Amino acid sequence: MRIVYGKIFALYKEVCLVMIYHICRRGEAEKAFAAGVYAPDSLQTEGFIHFSTAAQVVSVANRFYAADPDLVLLTVDDTNAENSGKVKFEAVPDSDQAFPHYYGPLPMDRVLSVLDLPLDAEAGFLLPEGLTVGSGAGDPGRGWRVVIDSILDQVRLAIAPDQLLYRIAQETETGYRFGDIDVDFSLYRTVNVLAIGKAARRMASALGNLIEERIDAGLIVSKTPFEMGEFPPKYRCFVGSHPDPTEASVLAGEAVLEFAGALNEKDLLIVLISGGGSSLAVAPAKGVSLAEIRELNRRLLASGASIHEINETRKRVDRLKGGGVARAAGGARILNLILSDVIGNDLATIASGPTVLAKEDGGARIESLMIGDVGTAIDAAAKTALGFGFEIVRVDEPISGEAREVGKAFAERIRSVRSEREPGSRPVLILRGGESTVTLRGDGFGGRNLETALGAVETLSGLSGVALVTFATDGEDGPTDAAGAIVTGDTARPGVAAGLKLSEALERNDSYRYFEAAGGLIRIGSTGSNVNDLLMGFIF
């Protein structure tokens, strides 16, 4: 029996259908070569053998094989006449990608080679040397879209609140250690959980999986509706409104203060905080109406003010903000576990700081631990792109300023890097995190990520081998159902064909409708997380 290990120097055709790859363990490959045919368990249970394109190999390996050092790739030529009709590209659950499925046993003489799958301690699995997903020339086709989708998939996995919480939690004899904070549950009369924000449901569920039997009472304020029986009866569950507060937000806010107000110094309050809480739960100050808060909120969002400026203003008209929960909690020990959507991770700004007291209010027993932020998303994107052979450029300065100008400047940087590249050099991914602002000028529909993308269209127009991606990590850019958009050198063309004028779309802040017609919207639904925005520039 002989296995040929070697390099493949194959360039993919338009949609990456020439070579397909099956990941398996070395021993399985050896047995298959000895038998002359490969028939894994999936053939019996599902009727086909799972394959991947080159662009999918790394994400599949990292997701399902957990650093197994004994993996190899079986390389099959899908265009071979004897394989004709065997392979179908089909959608799979929990993914919007199509994966190659090989129907029937695989004759091992159809395997062109077996490649070792390199494993790096930092980056995870990598593509074998010489294996590429494109030529580095021309516009990104479906193969490169798969690369982008794979990176976004890994970002979503990395910022999943449950995984972030599990990562920092460790059980002890008398309780749990969260990061470097020890919690001895036996010291408290009651253990209470308060979750507020876009990630509230997933954070509360994860904490419940760890300490459910220790929790005496809980209150959750979410943006998305709850499922029947999702949480035990000891939890009160509220759905607030975002980005504009409503009566539902007031109902939630008053319930939060009542919940905290029932505690004293003998109790423990674990607060799970994530972005969006400022609108989801509000408690208008004396003499301030909900209508006035809504109007103030509308003006602030339309003004182009930063999130820090917006939340500082909110604190003056809302009893919940600026430490309202801490003041109501009667001296209870408070442990904040925070998923940050704010650059710099200012605790007083995230959800307007419901448990962050001013210095003059000191003396409270409050500890805070950051479990994730936009750096988590950037690290995941970089790690995944490294596996595809990209050179990574991180922009340390966070995204800030007017969205359309951010998009234009970032597109100019992409253009500059492209012009300076040596022929045949590695593809490049530029990464930046943060949050831009939008000054409303018209009656259009969109969000800051879509407007950032819109600002890049003209600068990238006509360029081959580039893409700009904007991504709201909560999956929803402003009031839209899109997380962001992908801009390539061809984006302007269908817009023109549809009769759209870029200048008019910018003037009216109508970014969503532009990309809806031109193509490029990223629709993934709510991620159940929120760590700010991600801006990516690809030079292929």
Residues 479 and 447 reside in one and the same domain:
yes
Q: Are residues 207 and 345 in the same domain?
A: yes
Q: Does residue 387 sit in the same domain as residue 444? A: yes
In a domain, 8, yes or no: no
- Tokens standing for residue 9: 């120097």
The CATH number that applies at residue 99 is 3.20.170.20
C-alpha 426, offset from chain centre: 25
Single out the residue of 440, 372, 420, 411 nearest to residue 535, CA to CA: 411
Q: Can you give 27-67 as a three-state secondary structure string?
A: HHHHHHHHHCEECCHHHHHCCEEECECHHHHHHHHHHHCCC
- Indicate the residue among 328, 349, 372 that finishes a domain: 372
- Which of 31-46 are b and which e, b meaning 16 or more Cβ less than 10 Å from the residue's Cβ? ebbeeeebebeebeee
What pLDDT is stored for residue 385 in this prediction?
86
Domain that holds residue 124: 19-133
List the one residue out of 54, 202, 37 whose CA is nearest residue 117.
Answer: 54
Question: What local confidence, expressed as pLDDT, does residue 133 receive?
Answer: 52
164 located within any domain? no
pLDDT at residue 97, rounded to an integer: 66
DSSP structure string for 220-258: EEESSPPPTTSS-TTEEEEE--SSS--HHHHHHHHHHHH
The pLDDT of residue 455 is 98
Sign of the Cα pseudo-torsion (66, 384, 446, 220, in order): positive
Same domain, 534 and 398: yes
Question: Residue 415 to residues 419, 460, 490, 491: CA-CA distances in angstroms?
Answer: 6, 7, 14, 15
- pTM comes to 0.74
What whole-number distance in Å separates Cα of residue 317 and Cα of residue 452? Answer: 31
Give percent helix, percent strand, percent coil of the chain, each to the nearest 5. 35, 25, 40
Using the 3D structure, point to which of 317, 352, 372 is the last residue of a domain: 372
Residue 513 host element (H or E):
helix 511-518
Q: What is the pLDDT along the chain (540 residues), one digit of tens a residue?
A: 333 333 222 222 223 334 688 999 999 999 999 999 999 999 999 999 999 877 788 888 888 887 788 899 998 865 443 444 577 877 777 665 678 889 999 998 888 878 888 887 776 888 776 555 543 333 344 457 768 887 898 899 899 999 899 999 999 999 999 999 999 999 999 999 999 999 999 999 999 999 999 999 999 999 999 998 899 999 999 999 998 899 999 999 999 999 999 999 999 999 999 989 999 999 999 999 999 989 988 888 777 777 778 878 888 889 999 899 999 999 999 999 999 998 888 888 888 889 988 765 555 689 999 999 999 999 999 988 887 778 999 999 999 999 999 999 999 999 999 999 887 788 899 999 999 999 988 999 999 999 999 999 999 999 999 999 999 999 999 999 999 999 999 999 887 777 889 999 999 999 999 999 999 999 999 999 999 999 999 998
pLDDT at 66 (0 to 100): 78
In angstroms, the Cα distances linking 354 to 122, 243, 366 are 37, 17, 12
Residue 170's DSSP bridge partners are: 177
**What DSSP string runs through 364-377?**
--EEEEEEE-HHHH
What DSSP letter does each residue of 194-214 carry, written as one string? EEESTTHHHHHHHHHHHHGGG
Contacts (Cβ under 8 Å, ≥6 apart) of 102: 20, 22, 48, 49, 51, 76, 86, 87
234 and 328 belong to one structural domain? yes
Residue with tokens 């605790």: 347
Among residues 102, 133, 164, the one where a domain terminates is 133
CA angle 409, 420, 394 (to 5 degrees): 55
In the prediction, which pLDDT does 123 show?
65
124 and 210 share one domain: no
User: 212 and 177, same structural domain?
Assistant: yes
276 in the same domain as 317: yes
The answer on 31 and 116 residing in a single domain is yes
Question: Which residue do the tokens 């950037």 mark?
Answer: 378
Q: Which amino acid is at 436?
A: S
Residue 364: the pLDDT is 64
Q: Is residue 138 part of a domain?
A: no
Residues whose CB is less than 8 angstroms from the CB of residue 473 and which lie 6 or more positions away in sequence, other chains included = 155, 156, 159, 341, 374, 377, 483, 527, 529, 530, 531, 532, 533, 534
Q: Are residues 417 and 525 in the same domain?
A: yes
Rounded Cα distance between 394 and 207, Å, is 33
Question: What is the per-residue pLDDT for 2?
Answer: 33
Count of domains forming the chain: 3
Neighbours of 103 (CB within 10 A): 14
Question: Does any domain span residue 296?
Answer: yes
Say yes or no: 362 and 265 in one domain: yes
